[in-house]
Amino acid sequence: MVLFFFFGELRQNLFITSFLIIRMKKRMKKINWKVLIVSLAVVFLVAFVGSLFTSPVTDSEWYDSIKPSITPPGWVFPIVWNVLFFLIGLSLYFSWTSAKKPDVKKKIAVVFGINFVLNIFWSVLYFGLKNPFYAFIEIFALWVSIVSMIYVSYRIDKKAGWLLVPYLLWVSFAIVLNYLSIK
């Protein structure tokens, strides 16, 4: 009797597990590794180019003299930015792979491309040229470009839009830091 119960329970569990696996496979899209790798590579290339202007200056007397008291410790920035760039790369990937029409993919390329240029340009203005005032003006264009990325991505794939919200929040905080550093 116990053996019959065990095999009956086993058969039921196998049936439920098989049913769940089949349902999950239908819902899961196959990962397009080429697009994922290109998305992440492009985003981290932007991060690298921006860091060429940022890294040499963050330990300078100039930066220490303008850094607001609410600035997080220096070790926080590379961690936060690496997480944000990873999320941006995932958003780009999900947007791109979910877009079916060429004109929608072009829109994705344009909004992400503009954001990437503005992201680098802020580093050039603030750290490269040591001009927080011009960087402050530019950061509003960067912020608007993030909102545009969220809008375009969300309409294609909701999770792609949501992945960009931490980026918007961090840049919103950066606006405050940028403003407080203007002397």
Tokens linked to 29: 């899209």
Q: What is the mean pLDDT of each run of 10 residues along the chain (183 residues)?
A: 49 60 63 96 98 95 97 96 98 97 98 98 98 98 98 98 98 98 92
pLDDT of residue 27: 55
For residue range 45-58, what is the model confidence (pLDDT) as tens digits?
A: 999 999 999 999 99
**Predicted pLDDT of residue 96:** 98
Q: Which residues contact 70 (CB under 8 A, 6 or more apart)?
A: 176, 177, 180
pTM summary value: 0.84
CATH C-level class of 31-180: mainly alpha
CA–CA dist 89, 112 (Å, integer): 10
Q: So what's the pLDDT on residue 2? A: 46
8 Å CB contact between 142 and 127: no
What is the model's pLDDT at position 12? Answer: 60
Predicted confidence at residue 4, as pLDDT, reads 47
Encode the chain in three state secondary structure: CHHHHHHHHHHHHHHHHHHHHHHHHHHCCCCCHHHHHHHHHHHHHHHHHHHHHHCCCCCCHHHHHHCCCCCCCCCHHHHHHHHHHHHHHHHHHHHHHHCCCHHHHHHHHHHHHHHHHHHHHHHHHHHHCCCHHHHHHHHHHHHHHHHHHHHHHHHHCHHHHHCCHHHHHHHHHHHHHHHHCCC
What was the pLDDT predicted at 42? 98
- Residue 100: per-residue pLDDT: 94
Q: What is the pLDDT of residue 183?
A: 81
Domain residue spans of the chain? 1-30, 31-180
